[in-house]
Chains A and B, each alone.
Chain A
Amino acid sequence: MGKISNEELLQTLVAKFGDKISQLGDPYGLLTIETTRESIISILSFLKVEQNFIHLTDITAIHYPELEKPFGVIYHVHNLAGGIRIRIKVFLTADDVHIPTASEIWEGANWMERETYDFFGIIFDGHPDLRRILNVDDMTAFPMRKEYPLEDPNRIDKKDYFFGR
C-alpha cells in the first residue's frame, strides 16, 4: 500500500462529509480539520473502518479563554499502512463541554479521555468510567484551564519586576 497524500484524504473526507468538516490547513504536513461534536464519531469510525486509520495516537484538549468556543478537543489518528496522520479538532462552548466518547471505537481512548476530563473538565458522554486519573479524586478544579494558576498568585518571593513571569 502506497502513501496517501493529504489532498486525497481531504477529498475523500469532503466527498463523504461535505460541509460538516472544514480544513484548517496542514501545518508541517499534518492535515488538520475541524468538525462538530455531532459528526466527530462518524468521522472517526469512517476513518478507522474504511480508511484504515487503525491507530489512535492521542486525544487531548486545549483552552482558549478569549474565544467564543474556548475548549478544543484534539484527536491525532494514524494510518500505519498508508503512512499518514490526521488531526481533528472539535471546539466546544464553555457552558456545554460535552462530546461523545471515542472509547467504543478504540479501547485506548478510555484513559486518554479520562486524562482530558481530569485536566480540562471535558465530559465525554457515554464513557464507561469517567473519573479523574492523575489528580486526586476530590480535586474540584480542572488544572490545565488557563485561569488555573501554576503557583499561588499571592507569593512575592519569586516575582521578577523587570521581565515579568
Chain B
Amino acid sequence: MHNHLLISDNDPQNELSTLNLGPTHPATHGVFQNVLQLDGERIVSGVSTIGYIHRAFEKIAEHRPFYQITPLTDRLNYCSSPINNMGWHMTVEKMLKIEMPKRVDYMRVIVMELARIADHIVCNGVLGVDTGAFTGFLYMMQWREHIYEIYEEICGSRLTTNIGRIGGFERNFNHIAFDKIRVLLDKFPAVLKEFEALFNRNRIFVDRTKDVAPVTAETALSYSWSGPILRATGVDYDVRAQEPYSSYQDFDFEVPVGTNGDVYNRFLVRNEEMWQSLRMIEQAMDKISKEDPTIFHAPVPEFYLPPKEEVYNNMEALIYHFKIVMGEIDTPKTEVYHSVEGANGELGFYLVNDGGRSPYRLHFRRPSFINYQMYAPMSRGMVLSDAIINMSSLNVIAGELDA
C-alpha cells in the first residue's frame, strides 16, 4: 500500500539505514509514522505518513444538525476539547448573530483558559519525560486531574467534554465548580513555580532543548504556523489579542513571545501562557461575581434547548424543543469563518450554510495538521533523540492532525 519509500536513490552504496518511527512508537505519544533515513544517529531525510485515525468528521458534519457536531469537535484536540467546543458554538452563534450575555462570555473564558492550562501541562510535562525527567510530569498531572474534575462539575465528563450548547451553557456552574477553580487559583501557582524551578535552569534540560530545532519567523510564517510554536519564533500573533472573541477584549493579559523558536523557547512560551491563563481566570472570577448569577445562556429560545420540565409543561418550549431536535430551525444562507486560539494555534471553522438542517460544508482549520507539515523537513540533519523532543514540543495531537 505505501510505496513511497523514496529512499534508495540518494544512497547508491546502501550505507544508510531506514527506520520506521511509529505509527505506534511510545516515544511519539500518538499515532504518527515517520520513515526516516539514518546515517548512524543522524537523520538524512524523512517522510511523514498521516491519516491513521482519520474519521471523516467533515463528511459526518454534513449529515448532522448543528448541535450534534459539538461531540465531533471534542475529538479533534482531545487534550483541550472545551476550546474546540466553544469555538464551534461561537461559529454558529456568529452565523445566527446571537449576542451573548457577559456572564456567559466570562464562563467561557474560564473554561477555555482551564483547557489551555491542561493542554500545556501535558505538553510541557511530556517534554520533561522525553528529556529524562519524569517527576515534573507526574507533579503537574495532579493539576490536570483537578482541572478535569472542574470539567466534571460543569458538564459531567472529563476528556471529550461536550461542554456548553449553542447559545450558552447547558447548566449553571455549581458552587463546587467555583470552589475547585478557587483551589486551582490558590494552589497551582506554587506548583507551576516549582515546575519551572525544576526545568528552566536545569543543566540537563537546557542542554537537551536549547538550540534544538530552531525556526525563524519567516519559515514559521511560510509554513502557516500559529499558536505557541509561532510565538516562540518571535511573532506575536494570538487570535485572542488580534481578533478578540468571547470578551477577551475585557481582559488584561500579555502575549509571550520567544526569540529563536527552538524547543526551549517553546517550553518557556507555554509556561508563560499558563501564568497568563491563570491571570485571566482570576479576572474572570472577579467579573463574574458582579454579574447576575442566574444567567448561563442567551435568551434565544429558538436556538437553545429548553429544560425538560418546561418541555412537558409549556407549549412554546415543546415546539422549540421539537424544532431544535429535528433540525427545523431557520438559519441564514451564508458562510462564516470563525477562529479561536486553540492550545496549538489558530483553530478555525469555515461553515457554509444553505439554510438546511446541517451545514452544507464545514471545514476545520486544524493547527496540528498545518504545524506538523514542517516536522519531516526540519528533522533533516538532526540526531534522532532531538527529533523526538522536537515532536513533543510541537504538541501535535493525532486527533486534530487526522480529523
Shortest distance in angstroms between A144's beta carbon and chain B's nearest beta carbon? 6
Which of under 10, 10 to 19, 20 to 34, or 35 or more describes the interface residues of A? 35 or more
- Given known A-B contacts A58-B365, A80-B242, A83-B243, A144 and B59 have beta carbons under 8 A apart: yes
Chain B residues whose CB sits within 8 angstroms of the CB of A135 once the complex forms: 51, 54
Q: In the complex the two chains form, is A134's CB within 8 Å of B223's CB?
A: no
Is residue A60 within 8 Å, beta carbon to beta carbon, of the partner chain? yes
* Cα of A83 to Cα of B369 in the assembled complex, Å: 24
CA distance A108 to B370 in the complex (A): 7
Q: A80-B237, A134-B402 are in contact. Are A57 and B334 (CB under 8 A)?
A: no
Given A134-B402, A134-B403, residue A83 in contact with residue B336 (CB < 8 A): no
Nearest Cβ in chain B — how far from A43, in angstroms? 18
Contact of A55 with B237 in the complex, beta carbons under 8 Å = yes
B373 within 8 A of partner (CB): yes
Tell me, in angstroms, the Cα distance from A165 to B65 when the chains sit together: 11
Query: Among B1-9, B66-74, B168-176, B249-257, which stretch is in contact with chain A?
Result: B1-9
For B334, the chain A residues whose CB sits under 8 A away are: 27-28
Shortest Cβ distance from residue A52 to the other chain B in the assembled complex, whole angstroms: 11
Tell me the complex Cα distance, A85–B361, Å: 20
Return B162 CB to nearest CB of chain A, in Å.
Answer: 21
What is the CA–CA distance of A85 and B63 in the complex, to the nearest angstrom?
Answer: 29
Asked if B211 is an interface residue, CB under 8 A from chain A, the answer is: no
Residue numbers in B under 8 Å from A163 (CB-CB): 326
Chain A nearest CB from B255 CB (Å) reads 12
Task: Give the shortest distance, in Å, between B313 (CB) and chain A (any CB).
Answer: 25
Specify which chain A residues have a CB less than 8 angstroms from the CB of B51 in the assembled complex.
Answer: 132-136
Residues of chain A from 100 to 122 with CB closer than 8 A to chain B in the complex: 106-112, 115, 119
Contact B346 A57 (CB under 8 A): yes
Report the bound CA distance from A163 to B357 in whole Å: 12
User: Closest approach, in angstroms, between the C-beta of B274 and any C-beta of chain A?
Assistant: 24
Q: Which of A28, A80, A131, A165 meets B336, CB within 8 Å?
A: A28
A87 at the interface (CB under 8 A from B): yes
A137 B3 Cβ-Cβ under 8 A: yes
B 30-43 to A, binary, CB cutoff 8 A, 1 in contact else 0: 00000000000000
Given A28-B334, A107-B373, A108-B224, 9 extra CB contacts under 8 A: A27-B334, A28-B336, A28-B337, A60-B350, A62-B361, A85-B337, A137-B3, A144-B59, A150-B63
- Which are the 10 A-B pairs with shortest beta-carbon distances? A108-B224, A134-B51, A134-B54, A111-B373, A108-B223, A60-B363, A58-B365, A107-B222, A62-B361, A107-B223
